[in-house]
Structure 1
Amino acid sequence: MKKRFFVTGTDTDAGKTYVTVGLLNAAKRAGLKSLGIKPIAAGAVSIEGKLRNDDALLIQAASSVSLPYEQVNPVVLEAAVAPHIAAIQEGRLVTASRLEGYIKGALLMPHELALVEGAGGWRVPLNDREMLSDVAKSLGFPVILVVNMKLGCLNHAVLTAEAIARDGLILAGWVANTGPEKMPFFEENVATLSAMLPAPLLTTLSWCDSGEEAQSQFDELLSAL
């Protein structure tokens, strides 16, 4: 049975790629055919004359199903700004239907787990009419919400969960992600979100963790999905 999820965050730098890559590596350890897709990324450098985004490269490397970069990250924009602004700067039009087509093309590869990682938060504009959430709606995959545990996260997480539900999608669960120093009253904030969000807390992570402990956490996260 194929499992497919859309990975979003409460804001930019919430830890979406950390979670996506960790899950893909866990799937690889479990012997699963897995692939990750970052359909649009803003912020790239030129490598051998081709634009490459760091997060997309990490996702490509963690996937057990080999995909060319152009399928992992079909729309890569150079400026590290909102995608629709970067696209305007480059004279490009990015549409939801085109991104959906790219994603479905990559998903033709045989797989058991697929993760589609968003950009920024849930309501990220693609153009003057569409948002990246329109792509998630068309795909219909359950959503994993990565919450950046910092001051303001309660509002960000609840509003994002409400928007996901309004779009008719299932929130599969949420991840509490923290940096090297936990926010004041971290446990109390996690407890508050656990009571307010309509989905289970899948795990608590720190993107500074590495090694066997982090691997074990991601193995458990994979089993919970």
Structure 2
Amino acid sequence: MTAAYFVAGTDTDVGKTTVAAGLLHAARLSGASTLGAKPVASGCLTTAEGLRNPDALALMAESSVQVPYTLANPFAFEPAIAPHLAAREAQADLSVAALLAPMRQVLAQQADFTLIEGAGGWRVPLAGRANLSDLAVALGLPVILVVGVRLGCINHAVLSAEAIERDGLPLAGWVANIIDPHTSRLKENLATLAERLPAPCLGRVPRFERATAEQVAACLQWALLAP
């Protein structure tokens, strides 16, 4: 039996990749086969093999099922700007259809545990009027929401959860990634998130100096997602 999820964030730079890599690591430790993909990424580095994104590489490092880089990250852009703007400058067709084909190939690998990580928040624009959330809808994947815990996160998290529900997808769980450990009333904010979000908390990830997938995995309850 296989399980696949779409990993979304409440904003950009909230630790989606950190959490996704941790979940993949935890799944691998349990003996499950794993595969992570990032359909579109900005801020890529120029290498001898072509543009490479650190987040996509981090997901591939925790994937026991190996696929070509161009499948794990089919749209890679050098500027660290919004993907739809980077695609426009590169004259690339960043449409749902263009993303859907490679992600269906990723899912066709039939890994026990597959994660497809988005970019930024839930309503990241693609070409035209489309959003990256439309890809999650087209794939029909339940969503894991990474909440970047800092001042204002409750509003971001609740609005994101409402949008996910409105789009017809189940919220499978959420992770509290504590970006600002000095957030006022941290314990109370975490309790409010647990009260307001209609899904189980998969874990609380503290602020690490340099988080490793192993460290993050130890903070997560992967068993709640196990196939």
The two structures share one fold, judged by TM-score above 0.5: yes
SS at match of 1:13: coil
Equivalent in the alignment of 2:206? 206
Equivalent in the alignment of 1:137? 137
Distance 1:207 1:103 in 2: 31
Equivalent in the alignment of 1:63? 63
CA displacement at 1:110 relative to structure 2: 3.2
Distance 1:217 1:114 in 2: 19
1:38-77 to structure 2, matched below 5 A, reads 38-77=38-77
Equivalent in the alignment of 1:124? 124
Q: Which 5+ residue runs of structure 1 have no aligned equivalent? A: none
Using a 3 Å threshold, how does the CA distance of structure 1 residues 54 and 212 change in structure 2: closer, same or farther? closer
Distance 2:206 2:77 in 1: 28
Using a 3 Å threshold, how does the CA distance of structure 1 residues 55 and 214 change in structure 2: closer, same or farther? closer
Distance 2:89 2:130 in 1: 18
RMSD over aligned Cα, in angstroms?
1.5
SS at match of 2:205: strand
Q: Which 5+ residue runs of structure 2 have no aligned equivalent? A: none
CA displacement at 1:44 relative to structure 2: 0.5
CA displacement at 1:213 relative to structure 2: 5.5
CA displacement at 1:216 relative to structure 2: 2.5
AA in 1 matched with 2:219: Q
1:1-225 to structure 2, matched below 5 A, reads 1-179=1-179, 181-208=181-208, 209-210=211-212, 214-218=216-220, 221-225=221-225
AA in 2 matched with 1:157: A
CA displacement at 1:49 relative to structure 2: 4.9
Deviates more, 1:206-215 or 1:109-118: 206-215
CA displacement at 1:206 relative to structure 2: 2.2
Distance 1:188 1:196 in 2: 12
Cα contact 1:147–1:153 (8 A) shared by 2: yes
- Under a length normalisation based on structure 1, what TM-score does the superposition of the two structures give? 0.94
CA displacement at 1:175 relative to structure 2: 0.7
Q: How far does the alpha carbon of each residue in 1:171-210 deviate from its partner, in whole angstroms, 9 at most, with x for none?
A: 0111110136341111111111111111122211125155
Cα contact 2:41–2:75 (8 A) shared by 1: yes
User: Using CA pairs below 8 Å that are at least 6 residues apart, which structure has the higher relative contact order?
Assistant: 2
SS at match of 1:187: helix
Using a 3 Å threshold, how does the CA distance of structure 1 residues 211 and 42 change in structure 2: closer, same or farther? closer
AA in 2 matched with 1:94: L
Q: How far does the alpha carbon of each residue in 1:96-116 deviate from its partner, in whole angstroms, 9 at most, with x for none?
A: 011111100122213111000
Using a 3 Å threshold, how does the CA distance of structure 1 residues 82 and 24 change in structure 2: closer, same or farther? same
Cα contact 1:36–1:115 (8 A) shared by 2: yes
SS at match of 2:36: strand
Q: How far does the alpha carbon of each residue in 1:98-157 deviate from its partner, in whole angstroms, 9 at most, with x for none?
A: 111110012221311100000000000011210000000111111000000011101100
Identity score, percent: 48
Deviates more, 1:147-156 or 1:104-113: 104-113
CA displacement at 1:211 relative to structure 2: 8.3
CA displacement at 1:32 relative to structure 2: 1.0
Equivalences, count: 223
CA displacement at 1:68 relative to structure 2: 1.3
Cα contact 1:18–1:207 (8 A) shared by 2: no
Distance 1:182 1:213 in 2: 20
SS at match of 1:64: coil
AA in 1 matched with 2:184: P
